[in-house]
C-alpha cells in the first residue's frame, strides 16, 4: 500500500514486456487503470486511490480486456504463433467482450 501513499501509482512506468498494452488502454482513466492494476493487482479501491470515478462494471470490463490480452499473448508465445504475437503487440488485435467471445468462439 505504500505505492498509494507515495503517489507511485500516478508516475508508475509500465514494464517493457507490458508496454504493448498501452495501445489498447488509451484514455486517461484506462491508462490509470493499467498502472494501478499492474502495481496493486486489484481494483477494489481504484476510485478512492486514484480519484477517477467509474463503475465496478467498467473496471470489470477493463480487467477482462487486460486478462484476455495477456492470456492471448502468453498462448501465442507458447505455441510460437508469430502472426498472432505480432498482431497483439502492434495493437491491431480486435478485443471483444468475454461473453461475446465465449458465445461465438467456443473452443
pLDDT in tens, 4-51: 545 666 777 888 999 999 999 999 999 999 988 888 888 888 887 788
Please report where in the chains the cell 495501445 appears, as a residue: 23
Domain that residue 38 falls in = 2-104
Our count of domains for the chain comes to 1
Mean pLDDT of the chain: 82
pTM: 0.78
Please report where in the chains the cell 508496454 appears, as a residue: 19
- Given 3-state DSSP classes, what are the helix, strand and coil percentages for the chain, each rounded to the nearest 5? 70, 0, 30
- Of 3-7, 74-78, 88-92, 94-98, which range is least confident? 3-7
Give the SS3 label for residue 37.
helix
Amino acid at each position: 500500500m505504500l505505492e498509494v501513499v507515495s503517489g507511485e501509482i500516478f508516475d508508475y512506468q509500465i514494464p517493457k514486456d507490458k508496454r504493448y498494452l498501452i495501445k489498447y488502454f488509451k484514455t486517461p482513466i484506462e491508462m490509470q487503470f493499467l498502472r494501478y492494476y499492474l502495481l496493486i493487482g486489484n481494483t477494489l479501491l481504484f476510485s478512492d486511490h486514484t480519484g477517477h470515478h467509474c463503475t465496478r462494471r467498467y473496471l470489470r470490463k477493463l480487467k477482462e480486456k487486460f486478462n484476455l490480452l495477456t492470456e492471448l499473448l502468453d498462448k501465442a508465445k507458447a505455441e510460437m504463433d508469430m502472426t498472432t504475437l505480432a498482431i497483439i503487440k502492434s495493437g491491431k488485435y480486435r478485443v471483444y467482450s468475454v461473453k461475446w467471445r465465449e458465445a461465438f468462439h467456443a473452443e
